[in-house]
């Protein structure tokens, strides 16, 4: 294992032991770069295809009118109609995909604001393969309206079958051209939250075909048990490789349909997913927003796989209920008349 310890994306302080029972020593941005380094890309980083290759053409968005603030406010206040059958399917399959969850104009507004916030903090860097930023909602009112709005909040509460949900965190996730795969995982392995009632909306900010870093979702709430049997390796790609093998061996169904503009997925924290490499010449932009049931606590011993989780709940310590100002209740079914 010695040569394995060379993962340059792992902060030095985390290279000393073999295990994960320690605090993450880097930032959350570094965490994502480390996490993607655990993906098996067959030994080669994919080279972006030349411009004009199948993928996504940003000019396809130019004719869409961005929503006004009032229009956005109205759309975010509107509950998405979910049927009991859809909730049951989510509970059995561990994810749901919803076409037309957002209007094209709302997605464009989120895209525009996320890019604005990201580049107000970062210089463009052609060497970067993954760009990420959390907690944009704290500094941008439009993003706040979307991720703390009723439309997503009620969706999360209804799918998780809980009366109230709080915000865990949001993340802007940009897989740059040439960015490799996202390794197979289930988010419950990351979340330092002592509950199974946690879910994440994944909101692509362009139409997203398979070769563009698209989310790939395995079907079945029980699939995470396969992942739990495989030892996690914080240095190398063995974990990802072994999960991929098992998914094939056990004939687990994987949803790899392209995402339309306005379509989102919502994953239960036990859903096993990964994402393809981005071999197009355009950035794959996505926005994630995670919610958990009100009343949940931090686990007693968070590991490095939770990254710098304290950023997402300032002042909350292990074992305590999560209700910092960064974790507002975004939907309260009990308040409905
Ligand atoms: O966007 C990606 O590549 C990964 C996203 C993901 O795993 C998540 O949102 O839970
Ligand atoms: Fe994930």
**Residue-range domain boundaries for the chain:** 6-44+66-335
Atom in ligand 1 nearest the alpha carbon of residue 288: 9
Atom in ligand 1 nearest the alpha carbon of residue 185: 7
Mean pLDDT over 183-187 rounds to 98
Best substitution site from 275, 305, 306, 312 to test ligand 1's pocket, by max atoms within 8 Å of Cβ?
275
Does ligand 1 have an atom closer than 6 angstroms to the CB of 148? no
Atom in ligand 1 nearest the alpha carbon of residue 36: 3
Does ligand 1 have an atom closer than 6 angstroms to the CB of 170? no
List, for residues 137-148, the tens digit of each pLDDT value: 999 999 999 999
Residue with tokens 């902060």: 11
Would you say how long the chain is, in residues?
Answer: 337
Distance between CA atoms of residues 29 and 246, nearest Å: 30
List, for residues 299-308, the tens digit of each pLDDT value: 999 999 999 9
Instruction: Report how far Cα 278 is from the mean position of its chain's Cα atoms.
Output: 16
- pLDDT over 70, % of the chain: 94
Query: Would the pLDDT of 321 be above 70?
Result: yes
Angle between the N-to-C axes of helices 84-93 and 150-160, in degrees from 0 to 180, rounded to the nearest 10: 70
Distance between CA atoms of residues 115 and 107, nearest Å: 12
pTM, rounded to two decimals: 0.95
CA dihedral 205, 61, 105, 213 (to 10 degrees): -10
Mean pLDDT over 253-272 rounds to 97
Does ligand 1 have an atom closer than 6 angstroms to the CB of 182? yes
State the pLDDT confidence band at 1, using cuts at 50, 70 and 90.
very low
Does ligand 1 have an atom closer than 6 angstroms to the CB of 264? no
CB 193 within 8 A of CB 296: yes
Ligand 2 center from residue 81 Cα (angstroms): 25
Higher local confidence (pLDDT), 54 or 144: 144
Distance between CA atoms of residues 170 and 137, nearest Å: 7
Mean pLDDT over 92-121 rounds to 98
Query: Would the pLDDT of 288 be above 90?
Result: yes
Q: What is the mean pLDDT of the chain?
A: 94
Provide long-range contacts, Cβ within 8 A and 24+ apart, for 237-241: 237/38, 237/39, 237/40, 237/41, 237/183, 239/38, 239/183, 239/184, 240/38, 240/39, 240/40, 240/181, 240/183, 240/184, 240/274, 241/40
Ligand nearest to the CA of 175: 1
| pLDDT for position 5 | 73
State the pLDDT confidence band at 52, using cuts at 50, 70 and 90.
very low
Does ligand 1 have an atom closer than 6 angstroms to the CB of 275? yes
Query: Would the pLDDT of 118 be above 90?
Result: yes
Ligand 2 center from residue 133 Cα (angstroms): 15
Nearest to 253 by CA among 94, 66, 18, 108: 94
Ligand 1 center from residue 186 Cα (angstroms): 10
Superfamily (CATH) of domain 6-44+66-335: q2cbj1_9rhob like domain (2.60.120.620)
Does ligand 1 have an atom closer than 6 angstroms to the CB of 202? yes
Query: Would the pLDDT of 2 be above 50?
Result: no
């Amino acid at each position: 294992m010695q040569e394995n310890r060379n993962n340059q994306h792992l902060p030095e302080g985390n290279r000393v032991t073999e295990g994960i029972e320690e605090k993450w020593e880097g930032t959350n941005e570094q965490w994502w770069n480390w996490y993607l380094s655990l993906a098996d890309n067959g030994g080669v980083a994919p080279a972006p295809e030349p411009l004009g290759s199948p993928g996504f053409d940003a000019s396809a968005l130019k004719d869409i009118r961005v929503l006004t603030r009032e229009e956005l406010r109205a759309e975010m206040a509107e509950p998405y109609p979910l049927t009991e059958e859809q909730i049951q399917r989510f509970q059995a399959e561990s994810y749901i995909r919803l076409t037309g969850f957002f209007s094209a104009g709302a997605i464009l507004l989120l895209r525009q604001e996320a890019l604005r916030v990201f580049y107000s903090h970062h210089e463009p860097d052609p060497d970067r393969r993954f760009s990420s930023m959390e907690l944009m909602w704290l500094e941008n009112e439009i993003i706040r309206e979307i991720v703390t709005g009723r439309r997503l909040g009620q969706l999360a509460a209804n799918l998780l079958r809980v009366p109230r949900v709080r915000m865990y965190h949001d993340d802007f996730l940009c897989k740059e051209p040439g960015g490799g795969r996202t390794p197979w995982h289930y988010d419950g392995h990351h979340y330092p939250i002592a509950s199974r009632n946690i879910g994440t909306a994944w909101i692509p900010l362009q139409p997203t075909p398979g070769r563009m870093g698209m989310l790939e979702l395995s079907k079945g709430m029980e699939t995470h048990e396969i992942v739990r049997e495989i030892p996690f390796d914080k240095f190398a790609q063995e974990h990802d490789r072994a999960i991929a093998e098992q998914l094939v061996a056990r004939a687990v169904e994987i949803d790899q349909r392209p995402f339309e503009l306005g379509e989102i997925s919502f994953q239960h924290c036990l859903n096993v997913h990964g994402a393809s490499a981005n071999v197009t010449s355009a950035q794959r932009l996505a926005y994630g927003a995670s919610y958990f049931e009100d009343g949940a606590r931090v686990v007693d011993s968070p590991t490095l796989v939770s990254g710098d989780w304290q950023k997402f709940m300032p002042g909350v310590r292990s074992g305590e209920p999560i209700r910092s100002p960064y974790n507002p209740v975004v939907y309260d079914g009990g308040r409905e008349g």
